[in-house]
Amino acid sequence: MLDEDEERAGNWIIHSRAIKRLIEIRGPLAHMGGIGRTLLYVFRPFLVLDAFIHQEPCVLDTPEWKAINRRLLLRDERRGRASRLVRILGQAFEHIAACPGLLARVCVVSDGSADAAQRDALLKDLFRIRAILFDLEQQLLFIASSNTTLLTGPGCTAFVPKIVHLSGEGIRSSLALLDQLVTLLTLNNCSPIPRQTLLGSVLSGSAAQATFGEDFLDHLSLGMMVSPQISVME
């Protein structure tokens, strides 16, 4: 992603597909601890971005992987390693990982083949995920204003402002995306939207772009890349 050579600019996508396949083969249980957990935390933002680019649900947005995320948080709490900030970031990532699948569903529904019940169910899911992420963003803002060891855990206070800032950007980018998806579904209730037109609207000319400029996916990825490191440090 950092390679400025235009001919190799998209190579990270190929590597992300391979990493996704390796993680799938290893399975959730292989990433419960040690280097497996570290690798999962490092690579999971790329898995979400890869899912966005390929317009498909993220592999991490499945019951098995979501269950592992929750088990890890509970285990860390029992061991005294989980702070409030760690819990917020873990929950935020779980719901950010749902966004590529929601985008894929909007693409399907917006082609005009879905019935009213499918559209209503999708809108319900969009509002549900948005409400959760909005609440988590408010909790992050509280931590940013408090910045106490009680909320963030010992030994990582110096890293908290940067982690909170970038994680907040990731959450706000996701909220902007969800708002745009809701708008597209409600304003085009009866009119089919060509897939490429919809994707161009969401990822280029959307509320997300209005909020973050042309680097919407970059902001989303930055927040996801930095946020897991607090868990590794603790």
Domain limits, the chain? 6-233
What digits encode the pLDDT tens for the residues 167-221? 888 898 899 989 988 988 887 664 555 555 555 555 554 444 433 344 545 555 5
Q: Binning pLDDT at 50, 70 and 90, where does residue 232 land?
A: very low
Contact 163, 230 (CB under 8 A): yes
3-state secondary structure of 151: helix
Q: Is pLDDT of 127 > 70?
A: yes
What digits encode the pLDDT tens for the residues 131-177? 999 999 999 888 777 755 545 455 555 667 777 888 888 898 899 98
Q: Binning pLDDT at 50, 70 and 90, where does residue 228 land?
A: very low
pLDDT for the residue 122: 93
Q: Once rounded to an integer, what is the mean pLDDT over residues 30-56?
A: 87
Q: How far, in Å, CA of 105 to CA of 185, rounded? A: 11
pTM of the model: 0.77
pLDDT for the residue 29: 92
Residue type at 156 in one-letter notation: C
Q: How far, in Å, CA of 19 to CA of 50, rounded? A: 10
Q: How far, in Å, CA of 41 to CA of 234, rounded? A: 14
pLDDT for the residue 124: 94
pLDDT for the residue 157: 58
What digits encode the pLDDT tens for the residues 49-79? 888 888 899 999 999 999 998 898 888 888 8
Contact 47, 59 (CB under 8 A): yes
Q: How far, in Å, CA of 38 to CA of 17, rounded? A: 18
- The CA-atom distances, in angstroms, between 156 and each of 33, 160, 229 are 20, 7, 10
